[in-house]
Chain A
Amino acid sequence: MPPRIGTAAAALPGAAPSRAANPSMPKGGGARAFSRSARLATRQRSAMWAWINGAGRQFRRPAAGTTNYLGGGSNWGGQEEGEEGADAGGRQRYNKFPFPRNRHFQSLPVLSEELRDGIWDMVVNRGMSVREVSARMLVGVERVGAVARMKEVERRWEKEGKRLAHPYANAILSMLPQTPYKPVGGAHPHEPINDLPVHQATGTQLFHPTSESRPFTRADAGRAFAPSLLPADQRIPHPELIARERVRLAGGSAREARAAEQEAASEADKLAEEKEKKERETREAQTRTVRGRRWDFKFREVNADEVAGNERSPKGVGWRYGFPHEDRKKGQVKIATKVE
């Protein structure tokens, strides 16, 4: 298509920003002013460069030790009030909203390097259970496990002499809020550790007639929603903390409370272990392993009727009369669903 005269004529000389006013424009922009194919700066483009060189310049480089997010008012000059400085507890306050229009998403603190080291030390050197460390450091159970796991890899790399991405780590951590490490006294809470997942069965409103003469507890409420729904006391990650609080409320000493907590924790751990062991044993009993040169071949007896409960179900396996194999068809997803 030949160059359009209309677009070139439409751009008035006043609308195109001069190079003197705008040093970041590409070089040669002014030299080709008479060229018909020259790309003239649109009003949008000049507005962008004005912002980049003006109010937006503060976002080019990180603000050391704190976040540098777009604030509600500060994008166009002027700091949003009450978002910076230190609070009464001495912890750094920071702008925690990376998206000015979405106040429901916050950039929450990440674990500091010292805290990660502390967690790893507790788990590996002092042999504390993940549950215990989580309750002590106020960090979620999964996170404690993940920290210990990745620290192990880090240490292995150090031993092997692999180069770690230290400059990257330092840069990223200095741009993020961090939860500091406090080895003695109460830890800085990193996240709520007793989150109760909202069960799908509780999403609907329920009218459940009961007798007023007998107490209707959380366990009853769970049963009313779904027969197998356990009460919150058993579905949270740290039920042992409830045992501790019960002793405290009954007027027990700190030592008694601690003993009750430990007993409940070991009981919960034992139950989980037993369950896992049972599952593993059932799996092993069903599988026959044949050792190969490079791979082990594992065989399991499968009945197509039993897999999905119904021989006509598409989830059934193997060749079935009247059911063509679909796995060579277009659009069949074959991405692994898990990696072990």
Chain B
Amino acid sequence: MPAMRRRFHWLKRPKVRQTMNKYNLFNLSRLGRIGRGPSATFFQQKWAAKSHARAYHGEHVREHWWERAFDRHMPAVVPMDAHALAASDGSREAAGRGAGRDMHERVEAGVDWDRGAKGIGTPFMNMVFHPMERRLDQAIFRALFASSARQARQFVVHGFVTVNGKKMRQPGYLLNPGDMFQVEPDRVLYALGARKDQANDPIHDSDRIDNTLKPSNNQTEIVSDEGYDSSFSSMSETELAAFDAEELEPEESAAEDVKKTLKDLQKRVKNTLASETKGLTAKDKQRYRALKKQLQQTMSKASSASPESVAELEQTLESLDAHVAALKAGDDPKKVAAAASEGAPDRAELERLERESRILEELKKKEAENPYDPSKPYLTPWRPRDWMAPFVFIPRYLEVNQRICAAVYLRHPVARPGMAEVPSPFPHETHQLAFNWYLRRR
């Protein structure tokens, strides 16, 4: 493997690389014409094109390896329509000296349709680097198990990757259709998670995606860094919508508010239990204690406590207080208890308690799935790394199961009308020139 370039993400003469780096994103965003354009000689154009293309496609692979792997045949497919195949055996299209004698009239009359798909060409040239996509390290990067192709290679070399259940330490292993490869989930979480030192990363207001720019994404806002993990991973849209109300407040205040409210509630429960020991029935005391326990539990994982759950707890406390006040006023505990138990309010309270326990269960599940664990080399609770979203796509020749960090290489990448499956930032012309460069000795 060639050593890492000294100027890997260079701003002066930018080359797009296979990484999820923000410098790379900037270089990608201003990727324009490759080389000097039409004023350059053919050789110069080819040189610039292959230089840029190779800087992206398998930059860590020796040129000799690539020259041997290069294949001038571009794999392609044509989607077939079962109905059209059943309707004719092809003789109609072949009649009239191969032009289809009455095809033109039939298409115009609307009896038949234009099967040639003449409007859409197949971009064969975009498939120049298809042999590269067969490499194991490339496939790992494409399946989003590593943040760069070099990191994917390192995972293989360090023994974190299995192919069909067997450890594979060769990054240059060429996957066969049907091969299942798997990366240790901890490595994947490390590669694509936020860094540990980003726990208290300040987020500016301009970090938020501007709603005026993206009208359909008004539920993408993230309240705080702490709220971010839980909200990102498992909050429903309605829950997120509830957060929108607090959008204008500063980030940190939401989480702090939650904590403060919880503390207040705890104090109130404590005071009631201390001051009104005599006025309370045994059942009421039990209820207060249960509430106190719940509050403590919620406090211990304030990072994942949602404002709704806190509001629910607050409501419970208020209803309990009201109940006790009614008891005091009526002076007959049994009567008040009976009045409370026979009417709807008690049922409502039960329902609320049930809802609360459900919310708590959900919180517990979230916590279990994405716990705080300082022993991990990445930020916990886990959240995706910054500047990652523009690089997130999965090509069709892979099928990925993210939960077990495994993927199957279904088939070799192919071109089809209007589409090529090899991911590449470069346009058709650049690929054509690079193709011509590698064609010269063959």
Contact = CB atoms under 8 A, between A and B. Distances in A.
Interface of A: 23, 42, 44-45, 47-48, 51-54, 56-70, 74-79, 84-86, 92, 98-108, 110-111, 116, 140, 142-143, 145-147, 149-151, 153-154, 157, 163-176, 191-192, 194-198, 200, 203, 212, 215-221, 231-233, 236, 238, 241-246, 248-249, 335-340
Contacts of A167: 189, 229, 233, 369-370, 381-383
B424 interface: yes
A219 B332 CA distance: 96
B77 A197 contact: yes
Interface of B: 11-12, 22-23, 25-26, 28-32, 73, 75-83, 85-87, 89-91, 94-95, 97, 123, 126, 144, 163-164, 166, 168, 170, 172-174, 176-180, 185, 188-189, 192-193, 204, 206-207, 209-210, 213-217, 219-220, 222, 229, 232-234, 237, 240, 369-370, 381-384, 386-394, 396, 399-406, 408, 410-411, 414, 416, 418-428
Contact of A165 (B164, B240, B399, B405): B405
A10 to B, nearest CB: 14
A61 B222 contact: yes
A56 B25 contact: yes
Contact of A143 (B11, B383, B405, B410): B410
B386 A195 contact: no
Contacts of A249: 83, 86-87
A104 B416 CA distance: 10
A232 to B, nearest CB: 6
Contacts of A339: 163-164, 166, 168, 173, 179
Nearest to B169: A335
A174 B232 CA distance: 9
A106 B180 CA distance: 24
A191 B414 CA distance: 13
A143 B399 contact: yes
Given A167-B370, A221-B90, A150 B80 contact: no
A232 B80 contact: yes
Contacts of A150: 180, 399, 401, 404, 406, 408
Contact of B220 (A23, A63, A169, A243): A63
A102 B220 contact: no
B425 A101 contact: yes
A104 B126 contact: yes
Nearest to B174: A337
B387 A99 contact: no
A283 B83 CA distance: 40
Contact of A63 (B144, B233, B389): B389
21 contacts: A45-B11, A56-B25, A58-B214, A59-B389, A61-B209, A63-B209, A79-B214, A99-B28, A100-B31, A142-B410, A154-B401, A157-B404, A170-B232, A171-B233, A171-B383, A175-B388, A175-B392, A194-B82, A195-B79, A215-B89, A216-B95
Most buried by B among A108, A146, A191, A196: A146
A103 to B, nearest CB: 8
A238 B229 CA distance: 44
A175 B89 CA distance: 44
A198 B124 CA distance: 11
Contacts of B193: 168
B78 A195 contact: yes
B420 A170 contact: no
A99 B424 contact: yes
The 3 closest A-B pairs by CB, nearest first: A245-B86, A215-B91, A218-B90
Nearest to A340: B164
A198 B76 contact: yes
